[in-house]
Structure 1
Amino acid sequence: MDERCRVVFFHIGRDVIGGGSKMLLRLLTCIDRSRFDPVLVSQTDDELCKRAREEGVHVEIVPFRGTLDTYNRELLTTSPMTLFATGARIVQFNADVFSHFRRADVIWCKNLRAVLTLLPYVLGTRTPVIWNIGLGFESDGSLTYMNELALWAVDHVFIESDDQAQAVFTEGQYQRYRDEFTTFHKGIDLERFDPDSIEPTIDVGDGLCVGTAASLTPRKGLEYLVEAIPRVLEDHDDVTFFIAGEAPEGHEKYARELRRRVEGLGVGDSVRFLGWVEDMPGYLAGLDVFVLSSLNEGIPGAVREALAMEVPVVATDVGGTSTVVVEGETGTLVSPRSSEEIARGISDLLSDPAGRMERGQRGRDLIATEFSMEGYVDRYEDFILTMM
């Protein structure tokens, strides 16, 4: 008999593999298979599922039916009749996935949407259920009730920082359920992100390189980075800006508007849209400064990866970003929606080569101490075993 702890991870797949999916993939591939039997369940065979399968992870695909596809994309904008039909499809989906969850020792839900989708099963099972917040949706309007329902239904809530919990939930929710919150800082594979062994995949000769890596969505605030570019070029005309990332389904218009804005500002020759970048360590190795202009974050994985590669960071002070971007130590914090502050932060770092190197080295030290993948997985494993 297999005495390993069977952890079933429920993930609602999407076209683009974002930071949360990358982190889940690292966990699935690094978890100790002698003690754990990880199973990934998804409604679609997306890129995460394909990569997990290649790494020998057991993957089960149980398709959504009917209106659940609408539910997946437009949970809060559907009509009452559609919501009723969606509820019926949720019940049907829970019946379809029953066989995959009934032998689980622990159930892990990637986000709020996953918890709500499995709600009929979660309410009827004694199996411990983890809600991994990910970014999280702030309790406002109908989301207040959805977050409350999820908090009531699950056993544990995994967050990246206490600040994140207080930002996502109301004060009442935070106080009522704070004993369920457990902080897990996502880990970085320091062997993969090793500045001493990685060759850059971008090259502009003797010029300077500033880059970001983000999905092309309004939440990432990329328009504010674009607006900052002309101001930086006034002080440093030898800078090339790189934007790595794709537009998820439904955000193609935003991506087109970004490109038009770049051309409208007359900086097209200094900006390169790279699309999806597979070799992130190689990309980061070529940067002098990394920028994150997000309006909302947990503790962004892209920032941790940049710091692991000894690249200093200019980032908006949102969510738990200040946990890794320490002002004056590993980078510069700026106000969200402030192109002026972003431009100033970039220019100051570009003007100080010694300071850039020192902050990059401190960033690597911080990641090695607080955010290693090995430590992250060890903590995860120990916590899960306490739930059995």
Structure 2
Amino acid sequence: MGEQIRVIFFHIGSDTFGGGSKMLLRLLQSLDRDHFDPILLSNTTDELCERARNHGIAVKIIPFRGALDTYNRKLLANSSLLPRAGLRILQFNWNVYSVLYSADIIWCKNLRAVLTLLPYISVTSTPTIWNIGLGLESNGKVRYLNSIALRAVDHVFIESEEQAQRIFSATQYERCRDQFTIFHKGIDTSEFDPRQFEGTREEEEFRIGTAASISPRKGLGYLIDALPTILAEKENVTLSIAGKPPDGGKEYKERLKERVHRHNIEDHVEFIGWIDDMPHFLNTLDVFVLPSLNEGIPGSVREALAMEVPVVATDVGGTSNVVIDGQNGYLIEPEDTTAIIQPVLSLLDNPSKRSSMGKRGREIIQELFSIENYNSQYEQFFRRVNETSD
């Protein structure tokens, strides 16, 4: 083992560059290269891999073959496909052995990543970390797969206890409590800083916005359904929806557009697709709304708060850890269109409330969710794990 701690970050390629990939890129960029040697391992060159390479981070690509490549994302949605991909998983582990063998620590981005490396991490003494990400609730076959993953890894990274209790059964959580470590993902408050846009916000109309994967889990239909009532009170309101569908999710976006058409509010809703300059987008908003059905601690909410935009969000997962009801926004119940309306109107009607809540939101992000704190905690954890395994 050299002076540097070599950490292999295993990420299964995706067509989207979502919040989890953004956060991983920030972590890879910020690790102290004098003490850490990060390597991004993936099955394909996606946007995360390309951006990582552009920042001088080592990237190793070991392709999936046959059934493993064909099923990819479908493996957890239909776990009966797992046996068919079993031989290909063994083949992948054989092909990736030379990369993993050199690791001091193995970090897996999600459950799929853990299960893909299961043959190797089940027999290695190399400490392995399962980063939960959003996670899948332990129902039916997923409960069994979660149990397998818990037995295989040494550490589990989560964003909140609420998230762990949602994803795992009570028995799983109590049995493996010592494996869990809470990491609140960090925000670069120098990048997400409203002061760089002072004087540029338009005042002619109100703008409600959200930034999310265009998928049923984000509850965007409830937000669209709330808009006609909001428009009845304030005509000069636009809803901006940033984001794109995940793999195979274009049909849902079309259904949302049909919903907009049925409400006859096409002139007040814009689907603006993927946003590269998120700080600029957030700076155009008066209120940020995230009506998700489940979450960890949503990165888009933290980014909005860092930009001093008050938030209306559903009280799911660990969202209440960052949205303090009545201080920097409002928490509402999920799957409730009516619950969205009043908090949004209250903020649109009161510019001083929007301002004070926005400022408080940024203070909370700086105190508890800065990228500096996040990176420091990660590096300290890696050092402890490495020292323990020596």
Shorter-chain TM-score: what band?
over 0.9
RMSD: 1.4
- Specify every segment of 5 or more residues in structure 1 that has no aligned partner in the other structure, as ranges: none
1:234 aligned partner: 232
Question: Separation in 2 of the partners of 1:3 and 1:60?
Answer: 21
State the one-letter code of the partner of 2:356.
E
Deviation at 1:189, TM superposition (A): 0.2
Question: Separation in 1 of the partners of 2:351 and 2:185?
Answer: 29
Deviation at 1:37, TM superposition (A): 0.3
Question: Separation in 2 of the partners of 1:200 and 1:214?
Answer: 27
**After alignment, is 343-352 or 171-180 more displaced?**
343-352
1:63 aligned partner: 63
State the one-letter code of the partner of 2:231.
L
Question: Separation in 2 of the partners of 1:327 and 1:387?
Answer: 37
Query: In structure 2, do the counterparts of structure 1 residues 335 and 97 end up closer, same or farther at CA, with 3 Å as the change threshold?
Result: same
1:34 aligned partner: 34
Normalising by structure 1, we get a TM-score of 0.97
**Pairing 1:309-324 to 2, within 5 Å after superposition:** 309-324=307-322
Q: Deviations over 1:227-264 (max 9, x none)?
A: 01101111111111100000111111000111111111
State the one-letter code of the partner of 1:174.
Y
Deviation at 1:173, TM superposition (A): 0.5
**Pairing 1:243-262 to 2, within 5 Å after superposition:** 243-262=241-260
**Pairing 1:347-386 to 2, within 5 Å after superposition:** 347-386=345-384
Deviation at 1:205, TM superposition (A): 5.1
- Specify every segment of 5 or more residues in structure 2 that has no aligned partner in the other structure, as ranges: none
Question: Separation in 1 of the partners of 2:155 and 2:197?
Answer: 38
Q: Percent identity?
A: 56
SS class of match (2:176): helix
CA contact (8 A) 1:161 1:320 kept: yes
CA contact (8 A) 2:238 2:269 kept: yes
SS class of match (1:223): helix
2:17 aligned partner: 17
Matched, 1:196 2:195: yes
CA contact (8 A) 1:243 1:273 kept: yes
Question: Separation in 1 of the partners of 2:39 and 2:218?
Answer: 31
State the one-letter code of the partner of 2:343.
G
Aligned counterpart in structure 1 of residue 326 of structure 2, from 313, 325, 328:
328
1:45 aligned partner: 45
CA contact (8 A) 1:167 1:319 kept: yes
SS class of match (1:314): strand
Question: Separation in 2 of the partners of 1:361 and 1:382?
Answer: 30
SS class of match (2:238): strand
Aligned length, in residue pairs: 386
Q: Deviations over 1:309-358 (max 9, x none)?
A: 00000001100001111100010011101111111221111111111110
1:116 aligned partner: 115
SS class of match (1:67): helix
Query: In structure 2, do the counterparts of structure 1 residues 146 and 280 end up closer, same or farther at CA, with 3 Å as the change threshold?
Result: same
Question: Separation in 2 of the partners of 1:83 and 1:313?
Answer: 40
Q: Deviations over 1:185-214 (max 9, x none)?
A: 00000100011013698x765111110000
Question: Separation in 2 of the partners of 1:200 and 1:374?
Answer: 28
